Copies of this chain bind each other. A is one copy, B any other.
């Protein structure tokens, strides 16, 4: 797992080619591509031509576009399965050409599948012609190729590849899908660990980093890095663990509409949509619909879907469109019944990630090192007043009913981590004054409310509360907040035909994934991020 130190020196890397060699490679590939076009129009399988004496004739070349003409009886082996146990076997692999380096009569190259890779070698021999080696060296990086070769054990572990104990001696090689030779970014640059000092840059620019806009503009390539591959598998796991944990507890999945007739909370920060001859809005949250599902007897519901915020916030943690994981639950007598489940839910998620995504978490950590995420079981629960006390003891001044600033959240996160050894906790009993009108007041202290925030590494990931389920009291609270009752009529009406007491909350999938991994920017955990400046690709 220390390839971050070694991969530049031991890997036969395309980056090390001189500029001349690079040009040659491109020319050869372009020539090959032209041949391929001609071949395709004839629909034939392509092999190198016009060399009478080519001993490798028919064993390499550009395949015609795969159009489902036939299904060859050929088993393709996954790179992750390659190890010494199959030493000596001849196998076929389809993979991406990660790097390649011609060296006299041989060509070393690395074949990649997601975050797995294996070193390959084609060398001139009785079976392999010079022309074939030349062709292999001309294939552009990131092309998808089929290779046939013999698995061979190696004496010295290949540190730059995931499969360190074997290499493949290649006898056949066909290009399935060519990449353009000029890549807008290099996978190695985009994968370079943050720990490598920029100061070690050499004249060949080996320590180049790829800036975020270049990555996002060319997301199809950026997503191929081991880190991106790992991040989105972890993110998928968060979603799965969320659903599994709630389904185990009797929650039913629902789907709430994104197109809504009116701006739900006061009208600011919503995107407007042209809807036939009228207008509509994009939902900022599924909250009203989750609550309606509770009033409709679904008892415990969750929903996963797009949430839209028209906030002009250009920060490391805001997106204009994100994936909301929301839930709502009827309880019997006390909203802590819900808070208990929320605590268990997150323990399920964190434990599940540790056990199912060990390799992926390690992969992300190699590029973006972070302290391992700490949590307690059962989840730590503090009251807002405890938080204020801890902050004051640390010298921070704030009023009892002030909301936490983003900076104070961070400080409190550190204090909690020091004292309780956890990166995750629930802060209960927020001041009523800083919460929305539908929040249930605390019956034992009129200035508090039955509401809570959850924090990961000192950043808020969920705001939730017991909601007011009684229409008359809800009206009263809306009036107190100066809200135009007409805009929330259907919300209030939902509770007129009997509704159990209930509480809930929602998290942003990208934010939870980012904070779990200790990443610095939410755009790393959104497949195609949307922010005020970006809606492409």
Residue of B nearest to A176 (CB): B500
Query: Could you tell me if B258 and A321 are in contact, using CB atoms closer than 8 angstroms?
Result: yes
Query: Could you tell me if B43 and A321 are in contact, using CB atoms closer than 8 angstroms?
Result: no
Given contacts A68-B333, A224-B297, A496-B179, contact A240 B236 (CB under 8 A): no
Binary interface profile of A, 464-499, with partner B (CB < 8 Å = 1, else 0)? 001001101100000000000000001000111111
Query: Could you tell me if B65 and A473 are in contact, using CB atoms closer than 8 angstroms?
Result: yes
Residue of B nearest to A306 (CB): B258
Contact of A296 among B220, B252, B320, B535 (CB under 8 A): B220
Within 8 Å of chain B (Cβ to Cβ): is A32?
no
Query: Could you tell me if A500 and B232 are in contact, using CB atoms closer than 8 angstroms?
Result: no
A501 to B176, CA, bound (A): 9
Given contacts A142-B497, A257-B321, A297-B224, contact A490 B537 (CB under 8 A): yes
Q: Chain B contacts of A66 at CB under 8 A? A: 333, 469, 501
Number of copies of chain A assembled together: 2
Binary interface profile of A, 500-537, with partner B (CB < 8 Å = 1, else 0)? 11000000010000000000000000111010100111
Q: Please tell me the number of chain A residues within 8 Å of chain B, measured between CB atoms.
A: 110
Q: Interface centre among A321, A335, A337, A496, by most B CB within 10 Å?
A: A496
Given contacts A67-B440, A177-B470, contact A292 B537 (CB under 8 A): yes
> Within A212-232, which residues are at the interface with B (CB < 8 Å)?
219-221, 223-224, 228-229, 232
Write the nearest CB–CB distance from A119 to chain B, whole angstroms.
19
A274 to B480, CA, bound (A): 32
Q: Chain B contacts of A177 at CB under 8 A? A: 469-470, 495, 498-501
Within 8 Å of chain B (Cβ to Cβ): is A8?
no
Query: Could you tell me if B65 and A259 are in contact, using CB atoms closer than 8 angstroms?
Result: no
Additional A-B contacts beyond A67-B466, A142-B497, A144-B500 (9; CB < 8 A): A66-B501, A68-B450, A69-B444, A70-B333, A96-B498, A232-B252, A255-B323, A272-B273, A280-B535
Contact of A305 among B143, B259, B306 (CB under 8 A): B306
List the 5 closest A-B pairs by CB distance, nearest first.
Answer: A223-B296, A179-B498, A66-B501, A236-B253, A71-B334
